[in-house]
Amino acid sequence: MKTEMPDAQAATPTYGELYGTTIPSLRARRSGLVPGASGVAPGSMPIGPLDAIVFGRLVALESGAPGFLAELLAEFESGVDQRLTALRDALRASNLEALAFAAHSLRGSCGTVGALRMAALANSLEYGKPTRTQRRALVGQLETEWAAVRSALDEVRSRD
């Protein structure tokens, strides 16, 4: 007896449904060229701080497990704050191993919730072999992007 799997795309909200606007296709293309959870080629990075497809799938899971999304986002926000602190500490101490570990953790968390621009920046810290000046700039960009992601999450919460 063959069981058919439900089409996950059918239940996934569109970018317009999530953000109240229409944008040309934001479907992330998995390049396979960059290691890590994001796996997104730079030319296909989402326009907004949250990827509509990834985040939409999390929203769809909420219907089967009420409270799931709120719990996940609370953990995500707490974890990002801790990892950004770890990145700043590692940067100050010039501890490249700790920097790579924090970047790795941050990349995975961001990829899970659809903060793909943050995931790509963390990926650059982990694998890109940046100079000291570039590391400082990447951490600064991560902090700026984190503010945008947090704002987008607040906007999504305000609609509930």
What pLDDT, on the 0 to 100 scale, is given for residue 45? 56
- Of 77, 22, 59, 54, which is closest to residue 159 (Cα–Cα)? 59
Q: First-to-last CA distance in the chain?
A: 41
- Paired tokens of 103: 């970047």
Q: How far apart are CA 111 and CA 123, in angstroms?
A: 10
pLDDT above 90 covers a percentage of the chain that reads 57
Listed range (3-17, 23-37, 65-79) with the worst mean pLDDT: 23-37
pTM (2 d.p.): 0.71
What pLDDT, on the 0 to 100 scale, is given for residue 24? 34
Phi/psi region, residue 30 (left: phi>0; alpha: psi -120 to 50; beta: rest), is beta
What pLDDT, on the 0 to 100 scale, is given for residue 160? 65
Q: How far apart are CA 38 and CA 110, in angstroms?
A: 8
Q: Is the pLDDT of residue 8 over 80?
A: no
* CA count, 13 A, side-chain hemisphere, 94: 3
- Ordered structural domains, the chain, with CATH: 12-158 (1.20.120.160)
Helix axes 96-113, 52-62, angle to 10 degrees: 60
What pLDDT, on the 0 to 100 scale, is given for residue 46? 58
pLDDT digit string (tens) for 83-138?
999 999 999 999 999 999 999 999 999 999 999 999 999 999 999 899 999 999 99
Q: Is the pLDDT of residue 42 over 60?
A: no
Q: How far apart are CA 114 and CA 31, in angstroms?
A: 16
